[in-house]
Structure 1
Amino acid sequence: MSFVAKPENVSAFKDLHLTRSKSRLDLWTLAVGAIALLIAAPVLVVAASLFTPAWDVWQHLASTVLGRYVANSLALMLGVGAGVVVLGTGTAWLVTMTQFPGRNILSWALLLPLAFPAYLLAYTYTELLEYYGPVQSGLRSLFGFQSAQDYWFPPIRSVGGAIALLVLTLYPYVYLLARVAFGEQSVCTLEASRSLGCNPWQSFWRVALPLARPAIAAGTALALMETLGDFGTVQYFSVDTFTTGIYRTWFGMGERAAASQLAALLMLFVLALILLEQWFRRQGRYYQKRGKSQSQSRFRLTGWRSGLAIAACTVPILLGFLIPAGLLLHMTLRNLNQLTDPRLWGYARNSFLAAALTAGLAGAIALLLAYGVRLRPNWWMNLSLRTSALGYAIPGSVIAVGVLVPLGAFDNSVDAWMQRTFGISTGLLLSGTIAALVFCVPRAVSFWRWR
């Protein structure tokens, strides 16, 4: 019986050979899997801490501060979520779907607040709005107030102040995704809404906003992940959240296991946000289909409507970038003599060194993982890539716990062995060094490829 080399047989043989080659675990696939496992190790260490008994500490935390951690974290999430949705979506709609003077400049300037970390805003606005700051001092001088009991001023160091500053820093996440979503919406759909008598507000509320809902939800989820991971702002404002609780439990109470479990509980919040973001992203196919590629005709705003649009887009830039930048520049010029302090240049050198090392390492690992998936698109490679992407949204405090616990155990073991064997102490070899800091950063390198 002879085998006839029909085209369909040859094609089937090639497909079978390709499938077997893709599913084979070769050295390249194993190497990428090992790198991905190393990147995801801090997350796995924190997750494993849930099985460590620490009931006495948990009972103490539950009876004292745990409720406050949960309440403040939820309050921040609700406040920041509502703020970034309103501010990011509104400004994105204005610069994408309307025409007013300065729109082209404002469309990219609205991204500038993303360059300011929230804790820098906290420092600058505290300097500006505290009791001895220029704003309250000017009010007392203007109206003749003698003390804080003579007037009321909203406290900057509060949950509300933290929400306001985080909104000013994080709204560009929603703005950027919503602007892209509005720009890609079908021209026919929007023109149909206009032909049916919808004014700009009705067209936005009934047509454009539902179509952009998945993108808005994705941006909001990213902003909330950053909110849960923030430490500098909430710590400076004395707002107790999970991130400050992890720090206090570890260094204040000396309970590493309980701190790791708090980090794991925070990680569950972030995991819920990740699943919610992915669910909304999957719903996008049901809400929107690509329409025509030609540019859309914008609603032209005139008179007071134009002025209101300019103000709505200018205020976030003013509060989130221009005022803080001006205050920092003023403080720098006022303290020029401190620029010669050698400690300052030491801090700058360490910052640039850490940035250069982490950027180079992250780029190399990202290139390796992406090329590995391109070269060997099998199930093991995809699993490795997803494993390496576990930490892209995990708060820095959680990653710090996941890194310091195993590195501290390693350093202590090496030091104990060296003392028993040679009578010398090695101290901390990896903990508290730039190596540990660099190791924390490349955890997010494969996020762009995973999405």
Structure 2
Amino acid sequence: MKQKYMFWQTSGWVLSLLLVFPILAIFYTAMGESDEVFSHLMSTVMGTYTANTFWLVTGTVVLALAFGLPAAWIMAMCRIPGEKILQWALVLPLAMPGYIIGYIYTDWFDYAGPIQIFLRDFFGWQSTHDYWFPDIRSLGGACLILALVLYPYIYLLARTAFMEQSVTLLQSARLLRCSPWESFRRISLPLARPSIAVAISLVAMETLGDFGTVSYFALNTLTTAVYDTWLGYSNLNAAAKISAIMLLVIFLLISAERFSRRKQKLFQQQSEHGDDVRYQLSGRKKWLAIVWCWGLVGFAFAFPLTQLTYYAWHYFSQSWTAEFQQYSLNSLFVSLVAALFAVVLALIVNFYRRLDGHKYSVVPTRMASLGYAVPGTVLAIGVMIPLTSADHLLNDVARFLDLGRPGLVFSGTMFAIIFAFVVRFAAVAIGSIESSLAKIPPSLDMASKTMGYASTAMLRRVHLPLIRRGCLIAGLLVFIESMKELNAALLLRPFNFETLATYVFNFASDEQLELAALPAILLVFVGLIPLVMVNRSLEQKH
């Protein structure tokens, strides 16, 4: 019986090893001898890079908690006007790339922006010596921008945790005359701590991997250090060492999150259908809650989108160019191919796990999912190391066989971007297909074997029709994430090749936000698709 599954076993392990190989390549390269560039960075600016990264992550997490936790508790535990709209509107900022909001708010709040111009005209101020205004292009400004984009992680997970808490506990708190604040502090918040810890780790990892925002704000972090070391100094070894440091930081974040809840076991009875123990807010509290929630939606999504729409409308003729259409097709192609390969890989590793049933059969799925925790800039280094070696080997073999020099077949073509996207987002496809396969009863597998179906026929005629929706969702999610990915695309794109994300970044970096508005809106609306799906799933569960 084991021989029948040899294809799935071999394929699952080989594919998962290919996906984890870039991560291993980073550590292998980093263990080499230090060169002058890395030694110079360590003795001069690495301390500043590390400190900036620490304070950026800390500030963003604190602000994201301050934004997301109150909104989550209000939506889960209170009744306010317009709550059905707010439930999904508060998730919308997740579709807005952080660097786009950073460009817009810098344009508004800079010295030459409309806000400061209005203040100077209104109060008669002549120069910066006459008044003080916070500098948006600073560490604090970057924390604020990233928190506006990333607080939905806190909101989503905390709101779900609040909604799943026991009705009995909440009713008991009311019988004991606990105020809403005491109920939140003494019951809701401790019970939701595991979900909040997961959300904090997600915000921290997203902040650690951000490049577009910190680059525009001229902040030197570990991510910009990787970018500058590779492209500025052309030193892959030093970039790999910095990347290894970032991977260790991410490992510590994940380990700390799991360690913090290692002994927590929460057994709660979820709210029954029809039970509504939410607080009815009135007066000043009601208006404060409304202003808080709608203010988050406005500042993090509605106002920036309005500005982008204004620019796109007035500069449509300059934006709708052959380059924009070509780069849109580029993004469409690489994202579709990456989604296709990610779905096929997810099917193989998940189906092998279902067929084998051995405790080690889960290893390929976990190995193939590791790339999702790796920032795009770091992953680009890991992808480039083995692909460059593969190109050298291919050219050496071709020269030995007198076949000429093929050139950079792997590292200098779209293959590098597609491979990076598959490594980065395969976990999304694996998770979606894994949940779909788990809903198929094992009795169908037994019936298929009784009817004489081989494993391939079983997958084609039994499982695929049943998990078709899960496969479509998996492919859609990988496609959308690939369309939005900036960091890996910036470092791995071939010459004269742009995606929509790099196209927007280049225009905005050159202070031409008007021409970047149309492709930015396209990226935003593409990013809204998974958010709608997530919100619909939450509504179905509750």
So what's the TM-score if we normalise by structure 1?
0.90
2:377 is aligned with 1:397: yes
Corresponding position of 1:336? 316
Corresponding position of 1:437? 417
2:209 is aligned with 1:229: yes
Retained in 2: the 8 A contact 1:158–1:237? yes
2:188 is aligned with 1:199: no
- The CA RMSD over aligned residues, in Å, is 2.1
Match of 1:113 among 93, 96, 117: 93
Corresponding position of 1:302? 282
Q: Structure 2 matches for 1:166-177, cutoff 5 A?
A: 166-177=146-157
Distance in 2 (alpha carbons) for counterparts of 1:251 and 1:68: 20
Query: Tell me, what secondary structure is at the counterpart of 1:131?
Result: coil
Structure 2 unaligned segments of length 5 or more: list them. Answer: 436-542
2:64 is aligned with 1:63: no
Higher relative contact order (CA 8 A, sep 6+): 1
Corresponding position of 2:331? 351
Q: Structure 2 matches for 1:125-136, cutoff 5 A?
A: 125-136=105-116
Which residue identity is paired with 1:293?
A: E
Distance in 1 (alpha carbons) for counterparts of 2:213 and 2:139: 10
Which residue identity is paired with 1:197?
A: R
2:237 is aligned with 1:290: no
> Percent of aligned positions with the same letter in both sequences?
38
Distance in 2 (alpha carbons) for counterparts of 1:25 and 1:361: 21
Q: Structure 2 matches for 1:74-223, cutoff 5 A?
A: 74-223=54-203
User: 1:375 deviation in Å?
Assistant: 1.8
Corresponding position of 1:73? 53
Corresponding position of 2:488? none
2:11 is aligned with 1:46: no
Distance in 2 (alpha carbons) for counterparts of 1:202 and 1:400: 48
Distance in 2 (alpha carbons) for counterparts of 1:446 and 1:210: 30
Residues 230-285 of structure 1: CA deviation (Å, up to 9, x unaligned): 01111111101111001111121222111001001000111111222333455442
Retained in 2: the 8 A contact 1:418–1:424? yes
User: 1:446 deviation in Å?
Assistant: 3.2
Alpha-carbon distance change, 415 to 203 in structure 1, aligned in 2, over 3 angstroms: same
Corresponding position of 2:259? 279
Which residue identity is paired with 2:272?
A: S
Retained in 1: the 8 A contact 2:78–2:280? yes
Corresponding position of 1:15? none
Corresponding position of 2:455? none
Retained in 2: the 8 A contact 1:173–1:222? yes
Deviates more, 1:259-268 or 1:408-417: 408-417
Distance in 1 (alpha carbons) for counterparts of 2:3 and 2:293: 52
Residues 131-164 of structure 1: CA deviation (Å, up to 9, x unaligned): 2222122222222222333322211111111100
Deviates more, 1:184-193 or 1:141-150: 141-150
Distance in 2 (alpha carbons) for counterparts of 1:363 and 1:420: 37
Which residue identity is paired with 2:139?
A: V
Retained in 2: the 8 A contact 1:185–1:288? no
Distance in 2 (alpha carbons) for counterparts of 1:427 and 1:445: 28
Corresponding position of 1:16? none
Distance in 2 (alpha carbons) for counterparts of 1:45 and 1:175: 36
Retained in 2: the 8 A contact 1:23–1:379? no
- The higher radius of gyration belongs to 1
Retained in 2: the 8 A contact 1:22–1:377? no
Query: Tell me, what secondary structure is at the counterpart of 2:234?
Result: coil
User: 1:389 deviation in Å?
Assistant: 1.6
Match of 1:446 among 412, 420, 427: 427
User: 1:109 deviation in Å?
Assistant: 0.5
So what's the TM-score if we normalise by structure 2?
0.75
